[in-house]
Amino acid sequence: MMSNLFSIFDPSTNILNLSINWLSTFLGLLFLPYSFWFIPNRHFIIWKFILMKLHNEFKTLLKNNYFQGSTFIFISLFSFVLFNNFLGLFPYIFTSTSHLSLSLSISLPLWLSFMLYGWINNYQHMFIHMIPQGTPTILMPFMVLIETISNVIRPGTLAVRLTANMIAGHLLMTLLSNMGSIIPSYLIMFLIFTQILLLILESAVAVIQSYVIAILSTLYSSEVN
Q: Compute the distance between CA of residue 170 and CA of residue 72 in angstroms, rounded to an integer.
A: 30
pLDDT tens for each residue of 181-205? 777 777 778 878 888 888 898 899 9
> Looking at residue 50, what is its pLDDT?
87
Q: What is the pLDDT of residue 34?
A: 53
- Which of the 8 DSSP states describes residue 90? S
pLDDT at 70: 79
Nearest to 11 by CA among 2, 24, 1: 24
Do 84 and 28 touch, CB atoms closer than 8 A?
Answer: yes
Determine the pLDDT at residue 208: 93
Dihedral of CA atoms 32, 37, 39, 43 in degrees, nearest 10, equals 50
Domain ranges in the chain are 7-224
- Residues 132-171: pLDDT tens digits? 777 788 888 888 888 889 888 999 999 999 988 888 888 8
* E strand map for the chain: 14-15, 18-19
Give residue 2's pLDDT.
44
pLDDT at 1: 43
User: Which residues of the chain are modeled with pLDDT < 70?
Assistant: 1-24, 27-40, 64-69, 180
The pLDDT score that the predictor gives to residue 174 is 78
